[in-house]
Structure 1
Amino acid sequence: MNYRRSILSAAIVTCLGVAVQAQAQAQDAAPAPQATDLDTVIVTGIRGSMEKSLDTKREANSRVEVVTAEDVGKLPAHNVADTLQRLPGVNISSSSADEGGFDEADRVSLRGTSPSLTQTLINGHTVGSADWFVLSQGSNVGRSVSYTLLPSELVSSVEVHKSSQAKLQDGGTTGSINIITRKPLQFADKITAEASIGAVRSDQAKSTDPQLSGLFNYKNDDGTFGVMVQAFSQKRELRREAQEIPGGFFQIGDTDPAGISNPDLVGVYAPGLLGSTLFEQTRERKGGLVEVQFKPSDDLTLGLSGFRSDMDANNYNRNFMLWGGNFARAHAPDAGYVVKDGVLTNATYTGVAGQDYAVYDMIYREASAKSEYFTLDADWQINDNLSAKFQAGTTSGEGSTPRQFIAEVTLANGGGASWTSHGAGSPLDWNVGGDISPAGVTSFGTWGNQEVTAKDDEDWFTADFTQYFNSGALSSIDFGVRYADHKREALSPEGASPGDIWPALQNGATASYPGGFASDIGGVFPRDLWYFTPGALKEAILNNSTWLSNDDGPNGRHNYGGEWKVEEKNFAAYVQANFVGDTWSGNVGLRYVDIDQDINTYQAVADPANADVSSLFGNWIRTFTNNKHSRILPSANLKFELADDLLFRFAASQTQTLPDYSALGASSWGSDLNRTGGGGNPNLKPVLSTNFDANIEWYFTPRGLLSVGAFAMDLKDYVAFGTETQMLFSELTNQLEAYEVSVPVNADGKVHGLEVVYEQPIGDFFGINANYTYADGSTSHTWADGSNNLLGTSKDTYNVGAYFENDTFGARVSYTRRSSFLIGLSGANPYYQDDFGSLSAALSYKVNDHLSFTLDGLNLNNPTIKYYQSAVIPTSFYSNGRQYYFNVRVKF
């Protein structure tokens, strides 16, 4: 590994040095061509956008994929992430933590790796991001960006950089995604005004909701001043119907009563919780983008940009669960139970008086997420041979769950239970006996009525220069610096001290699960269920709880164990030489990165006398860790024109990504239901990847491409997860208890694979496109299931599509599929997402240049998103239904 890196670095340094020396001996450089003030031609239509994307890809010196919007608000898919998944080597996922699968893509990753190793930028700079889901706000916080905050209407094009360049911002091990917005001086007309009025229909939620967006752009006659304003207001109802097994299956121990009475059950896996799960949410996203450009002279362009996206995401999750972790330890099943491959696949338990067989969680959360940035730019042609770009900016993201209204009740006392497992591909059949109505509640509890807030902030400054030459092979040298101050923290400063809630709640309003609940996923399990309405739950808890703000005393509700902070100061400097010959071009460069990291977190202790702080959540000492990382990252990209329509590319680089914020900073936490949890490791090292990429591209016709490529990534200090026993504070016993906690660790890893792309126009109006990616990833870390899988690696990913377009009508259909991949740990158990495919289609009708209609359909095959622990142990099954977006677009 080290030998390979030294050879790569030495080769690039040598090339760079020789080029600079040769250029110094050359004649004085001739003036570089001046930038010409031409109106940008806005390409519209499916065919035009595909051709423009291929042209950009072809001309680039590095490995890059490009998606260009057909027109304002008209990406090839309604969601930005859904658009990107159709590119070779791109994968998407719909969740960031343990919230399970949804109907909308939320995270993007490249070439069989986790989303945290892929960097997302807007116009080349960082964007602060946070999530609406409570676990993603505190205990599971990555470095990826939530695409649910980025509406497609803002996007002009998206660049996916698969090979590194020294001038590109560091942070993406496997590559970076740059979302490019429009600029006011790019528009052809003096005044441009557009509006989109539409609706989204969610068939499972049986809801139709408004989707509104608009754009106004003005530039003066001289093209020296322009202002663009975009705004959006979009609402969407979601309903997800599922069977969940939270925390996965557990092993019956030799000290458990069931193991003592039946030794053949020792070490056998059984479901800790089997849930019939109904999730509903309202997402309301509002915001906008303002861009201002001013050219005081031909050589100087100044810019001001501001963006904000706010999303309210209140949600209600109901999970009625067979409580195997309670009774399956306490007594053995009836005679005739079946154990297969170490799993208790068929078991019936006769009820025991006083034993609860079901637990029911009803969790209503007020939640939100927001993202914003502001930038000042200056683009200056200093002289004929030297240009400069400066940018100062600030960005912030915040995810917040200010209130959680939670009821946890036990039911089915003495009623017994049963289950039958059919392997990882099918839901379990299960049932509990006894009274499961509100009258059958045997105990009531509320937990987690705690504020949780995530904050993500960065301030930065960049200065980039280009020195042009006009003789010899060296065409230009890029050099510059970047400084950024980034802070990510999780806060939980206040909560509720619950009073006597149950008397107020037990007679509160109730409602029923929807008719036909979870019929699409199959299985036989409780479906005719009741729940307290959100209003009844909220009212009972608010009226019978005391909310304490910033109470730091031993009786306060400040949850120090849920708090942590990571601060990073990042300085980078780079130099990159760009070459061009008659039939070749490329670049080599070095990027120096220096990072100073401060990590603040808390550790639980038993004795209050040894604690720095105390609350009802336990006693804690503050811990502080400082890490310093500096490294030179080399890169090289070469492109050879083998013929007029045939290119060969080769790239080599080293890239670095810092571990997830929560992997570094999160305090250890545990779940009392199954005594598992998670935590951070402040001593983690950055992931260093040595990358090689080769590709041959045949552009056999306009809009036509056949390409075949190979890639390899050697990952040093890749972040995996092990488990260890830690003593954590239990809210049930009010003392430290032993929990099996997942902890991030460094390990080596590797990924190698192939990419094949085919795009073919058929006549003037038709076309097809397809791509396939093979990725084989592994790590030196051995998971609890004995595997060496890399997080996020799907071995097979493919996309196929077809389109038709004439002057008035357009149609597109596409299908994408990825094979199973490792998600992470659920409790102490590795778990995977199963093979997943999605069908989408789009129709458009253009009445004239001022009026058009579009209809987009997503998840038309109504896929079930499946997760599993092993080939014989399922984890969850989610059904989200289909979505239809209808829009009327008007241009003035």
Structure 2
Amino acid sequence: MHRKTLLSAAIAGCLAFSAHAQEAQPKATDLDTVTVTGIRGSMEKSLDTKREANARLEVVTAEDIGKLPAHNVADTLQRLPGVNISSSSASEGGFDEADRVSLRGTSPSLTQTLINGHSVGSADWFVLSQGSNVGRSVSYTLLPSELVRSVEVSKSSQAKLQDGGTTGTVNIITRKPLEFAKPITAEASIGAVRADQAEATDPQLSGLFNYKNDDGTFGVMVQAFKQKRHLRREAEELPSGFFQLGRNSDGTINALGQSNPDLVDVWAPSLLGSTLFEQIRDRKGGLVSLQFKPADNLTLGLEGFTSKMQANNYNRNFMLWGGNFANSQAPDAGYTVKDGVLTDAKYAGKAGTDYAVYDMIYREATAKSSYVTLDADWQVNDNLSAKFQAGSTKGTGSTPRQFIAEVTLANGGGASWNTHGIGSPVDWSVGGDITPAGVTSFGTWGNQQVTAEDKEKWFTADFSQYFNDSALSSIDFGARYADHKREALSPEGATPGDIWSALKSGATASYPGGFASGIGGNFPRNLWYFTPSALKDAILANSTWLSNNDGPSGRHNYGGEWKVQEKNFGAYVQANFVGDRWSANVGLRYVNVDQDINTYLAVSDPANIDVSSQFGSWKALSYNNKHSRLLPSANLKFDLADDLVFRFAASQTQTLPDYSALGASSWGSDLSRTGGGGNPRLKPVLSSNFDANLEWYFMPRGLLSVGVFAMNLKDYVGFDTETQMLFSELTNKLEAYKVAMPINVDGKVSGMEVAYEQPIGDNFGVNANYTYVDGKSSFTWANGSNSLQGTSKNTYNVGAYFENDTFGARLSYTYRSSFLIGLQGAVPYYQDDFGTLSASLSYKATDWLSISLDALNLNNPTFKYYQSASIPTAFYENGRQYYINFHVKY
């Protein structure tokens, strides 16, 4: 057959691992003739795939089932050049596990994540990520590494790739039943994880069974996992950042400004918190895959996946309440103002003034993801192959119950603080009675159900027409239709009764010994809190739960609800060429998107009210947007020598705005009088991309590459602020809030990547990479910056490994410089630079038993967040994690 020629095999090989998984696999030609396993084997397979690909590709190959170079797929990917990770999607702060992936210094929403080339519905456990801050990125906490055969990161676009990844696409590839070498394969991993800061040890279990018949015409694979771990984060947190002194809400000079004119417009902390967060993450699920070949030229596949994580969490934040007194009470003489910040201040106690507020928030939360796909891979004839797929996916994030107590304390006790920029936490203290007996008032909010749903149904048809003895080796063409819906719901909740009478005598506990010792600073640490059960019992027993009551006395929070539905049609044609020492592809993709957006506007005029509840009154709004566009792409690969490859790529790519940026109703924080909202008229982000790379494969498993890239982002999303009237739960009426609204702006990203891998002898090896990114926006933030979200100027990874037939060891360090996260209230805030050190050891006891020990966050990094060099917003410490696993296989 002509497709088995060397030329055609090279074409098929470079497309076999494409991010869309659309190519027919070569039947008889293999790129690798030697079977390799372990660390060295996985690196060799990854480099082979990267080298043979026609487009810019980074690859991670699992050594064995459940043996990615980390326990989290996102943690693994951060070691690739140009890849950045973050540990949260909204304002929940820094955790010990990577959760989001982005490429080349951009927002995670601009990077598309697929599984086997198709979409995956995703949702989050954190309540704000379920409603008011919802991007288009995928939560990796729901994707265990045990599922992964390989992960491929496409940095240059091709017409056949599903549209949606402006800066690139991550494709997670699972195993298939007919790929296994033996008729029966059975594997299991039994282990545990030790979280040193949480002082807890939890089980980690996974297993796989695969069967295929002797003819290789039928196979079934079943995978299951159940993984639990405790998490404890200790922190100083400033949840509302800093605010400016000396003015009334209308901008006029207040009494403080008149008596102390040097304090007008000076920044002071609104809240300074001693924060303890604890969570149990219990993830379980599995994957079932079947393959059937009724004929030699036809393979049918059915696959289903589900993952559910129970993520109940308890956050306690004891806070100096600067927003309650600092704008009305003058500090004692001797205070210090530096760079516009009140850095050192002491306040004498004033009777009747509460100097502290204490929030205790226990939430029941879950996140789920699932998909079902049906595939048909048909070799129509020697020259034509076809692949069809129909599928559906769903992600759900739910917070069915929130148990919240907010009490005020330290009445008449006074307060003080001393800031140190972002180098170390703020030193602060409050006087007076801060025990339960010193509580002066009690409040609660948020006993409200919040649910996020992310659904998609799709159908794809992809074809490849092959040619013989021609520079035009093949033409790929096809179409895709998807119906996607993202929705935030808050239909019911509870009206609080006399909770305090039951709670005030409830059981209490204390912050752990040595709390936040790793982050430094002097602030309250020996603190009490109500136990989760005491808080939950008091609220449940003294609240009236109202289900779907839409009247004025109901608890249907329309202001927290919105829906974005998108019907997406795409069609493409891509020509693939090959010549003497070169190959290329040129393609065009047509995309057509029809968006329906439903949201609500807070109103007070009875003539405009459509719905109302205890949360206020709203007018229902509907919008429709239509977007169509042609997206060209081209990739060139040229073998300058047997070991030297040059690549160039140019393309246009598109990503639709974040779901909440389009649909979210305006919302506000009562304490800071700031908030956010959506803009249904936002346009998609269009990026013009250029990429050039030189790769020198100087020895087996050896690589030195240097590349440059540039992206011109049209209609990138920035944020402007405006004053809106929103409903306040504190005053039970509409109040003025400073609301951040998304707007279309432009942006530019350019940079370079350097990667190096080299074996040393038969058993040792080193690897390193460095990425420089310069990202700028045409939009100027409130602090005068024109930074792009997610842009770290410098990212690097260094690692070393040892491996023989029995032992293996790997050490890696990853660093990322500071970057803009988004808005805290209406003010931009950043994450400071950080680095993480990880190590792994493995021992092959027998052919059927291996043991591994992995250590993550060995350097116990402190994650720091800030508004400016003088204004910190958080310091987080998560501790180290140790995983031990016994892996058996048959």
* Corresponding residue of 2:308: 310
* Corresponding residue of 1:529: 527
* Corresponding residue of 1:769: 767
1:769-805 CA distances to partner (integer Å, 9 max, x unpaired)?
A: 0000000000000001000000000000000000000
Aligned partner (choices 192, 198, 201) of residue 194 of structure 2: 201
Quick one: distance in 1 between partners of 2:845 and 2:181? Answer: 21
- Give the secondary structure class of the aligned counterpart of 1:502: helix
RMSD of equivalent CA atoms: 1.2
Quick one: distance in 1 between partners of 2:873 and 2:458? Answer: 42
- Give the secondary structure class of the aligned counterpart of 1:816: strand
1:367-413 CA distances to partner (integer Å, 9 max, x unpaired)?
A: 00000000000000001100000000000000000000000000001
Quick one: distance in 2 between partners of 1:464 and 1:606? Answer: 53
Quick one: distance in 2 between partners of 1:231 and 1:374? Answer: 16
Moved over 6 A (4+): 37-42
How far did residue 38 of structure 1 move?
8.7
Residues 74 and 99, structure 2, Cα contact 8 Å, conserved in 1: yes
* Corresponding residue of 2:145: 152
Residues 50 and 703, structure 1, Cα contact 8 Å, conserved in 2: yes
Quick one: distance in 1 between partners of 2:317 and 2:816? Answer: 29
* Corresponding residue of 1:277: 275
- Give the secondary structure class of the aligned counterpart of 1:357: strand
Quick one: distance in 2 between partners of 1:551 and 1:242? Answer: 39
Residues 184 and 291, structure 1, Cα contact 8 Å, conserved in 2: yes
Matched, 1:514 2:506: no
Quick one: distance in 2 between partners of 1:205 and 1:102? Answer: 13
How far did residue 610 of structure 1 move?
2.3
* Corresponding residue of 1:540: 538
Residues 227 and 293, structure 1, Cα contact 8 Å, conserved in 2: yes
How far did residue 723 of structure 1 move?
1.2
Matched, 1:798 2:818: no
Quick one: distance in 1 between partners of 2:847 and 2:774? Answer: 48
Give the alignment of 1:616-655 within 5 angstroms. 616-655=614-653
* Corresponding residue of 1:856: 854
Matched, 1:35 2:27: yes
- Give the secondary structure class of the aligned counterpart of 1:848: coil
* Corresponding residue of 2:113: 120
* Corresponding residue of 2:818: 820
Residues 408 and 445, structure 1, Cα contact 8 Å, conserved in 2: yes
* Corresponding residue of 1:891: 889
Matched, 1:232 2:232: no
Residues 578 and 586, structure 1, Cα contact 8 Å, conserved in 2: yes
* Corresponding residue of 2:216: 223
How far did residue 856 of structure 1 move?
0.5
Give the alignment of 1:205-354 within 5 angstroms. 205-255=198-248, 256-354=254-352
- Give the secondary structure class of the aligned counterpart of 2:326: helix
Residues 45 and 70, structure 1, Cα contact 8 Å, conserved in 2: yes
Residues 246 and 261, structure 2, Cα contact 8 Å, conserved in 1: no
Aligned partner (choices 674, 677, 688) of residue 675 of structure 2: 677
1:719-758 CA distances to partner (integer Å, 9 max, x unpaired)?
A: 0111111110011111110001111111000000000001
How far did residue 329 of structure 1 move?
1.1
Residues 676 and 739, structure 1, Cα contact 8 Å, conserved in 2: yes
- Give the secondary structure class of the aligned counterpart of 1:772: strand
- Give the secondary structure class of the aligned counterpart of 1:683: coil
- Give the secondary structure class of the aligned counterpart of 2:381: coil
* Corresponding residue of 1:840: 838
* Corresponding residue of 1:448: 446
Quick one: distance in 1 between partners of 2:29 and 2:36? Answer: 18
* Corresponding residue of 1:604: 602
Residues 859 and 881, structure 1, Cα contact 8 Å, conserved in 2: yes
* Corresponding residue of 1:172: 165
1:696-737 CA distances to partner (integer Å, 9 max, x unpaired)?
A: 000001100000000000000000111111110011111110
Residues 608 and 614, structure 1, Cα contact 8 Å, conserved in 2: no
- Give the secondary structure class of the aligned counterpart of 2:258: helix
One-letter code aligned to 1:35: K
- Give the secondary structure class of the aligned counterpart of 1:326: helix
Matched, 1:80 2:73: yes
Identity of aligned residues (%): 82
Give the alignment of 1:319-718 within 5 angstroms. 319-718=317-716
How far did residue 36 of structure 1 move?
3.5
Aligned partner (choices 40, 51, 61) of residue 47 of structure 1: 40
Residues 693 and 711, structure 1, Cα contact 8 Å, conserved in 2: yes
Residues 39 and 187, structure 1, Cα contact 8 Å, conserved in 2: no
How many positions carry a matched residue from both structures?
861
Matched, 1:188 2:173: no
* Corresponding residue of 2:12: none
Residues 315 and 367, structure 1, Cα contact 8 Å, conserved in 2: yes
Residues 722 and 739, structure 2, Cα contact 8 Å, conserved in 1: yes
TM-score of the two chains, using structure 1 as the length reference: 0.96
* Corresponding residue of 2:13: none
- Give the secondary structure class of the aligned counterpart of 1:595: strand
Quick one: distance in 2 between partners of 1:873 and 1:851? Answer: 53
* Corresponding residue of 2:17: none
- Give the secondary structure class of the aligned counterpart of 1:518: coil
* Structure 2 gap segments, 5+ residues each: 1-23, 249-253
- Give the secondary structure class of the aligned counterpart of 1:96: coil
Residues 1:34 and 1:440: Cα distance change in structure 2 (over 3 Å): closer
How far did residue 608 of structure 1 move?
3.5
Quick one: distance in 1 between partners of 2:429 and 2:830? Answer: 25
* Corresponding residue of 2:21: none
Residues 585 and 635, structure 2, Cα contact 8 Å, conserved in 1: yes
How far did residue 607 of structure 1 move?
2.7
Quick one: distance in 1 between partners of 2:245 and 2:853? Answer: 53
One-letter code aligned to 1:132: W
One-letter code aligned to 2:827: N
* Corresponding residue of 1:748: 746
* Corresponding residue of 2:10: none
Residues 165 and 655, structure 2, Cα contact 8 Å, conserved in 1: yes
Quick one: distance in 1 between partners of 2:692 and 2:179? Answer: 34
One-letter code aligned to 1:233: K
* Corresponding residue of 1:27: none
Quick one: distance in 2 between partners of 1:817 and 1:385? Answer: 48
* Corresponding residue of 2:11: none
How far did residue 886 of structure 1 move?
0.3
Quick one: distance in 2 between partners of 1:485 and 1:79? Answer: 30
Quick one: distance in 2 between partners of 1:800 and 1:149? Answer: 27
How far did residue 54 of structure 1 move?
0.2
How far did residue 426 of structure 1 move?
1.1
* Corresponding residue of 1:4: none
- Give the secondary structure class of the aligned counterpart of 1:382: strand
One-letter code aligned to 2:294: P
One-letter code aligned to 1:156: R
1:117-138 CA distances to partner (integer Å, 9 max, x unpaired)?
A: 0000000000000000000000
Quick one: distance in 1 between partners of 2:393 and 2:166? Answer: 22
One-letter code aligned to 1:716: K
How far did residue 261 of structure 1 move?
2.1
Residues 840 and 854, structure 2, Cα contact 8 Å, conserved in 1: yes
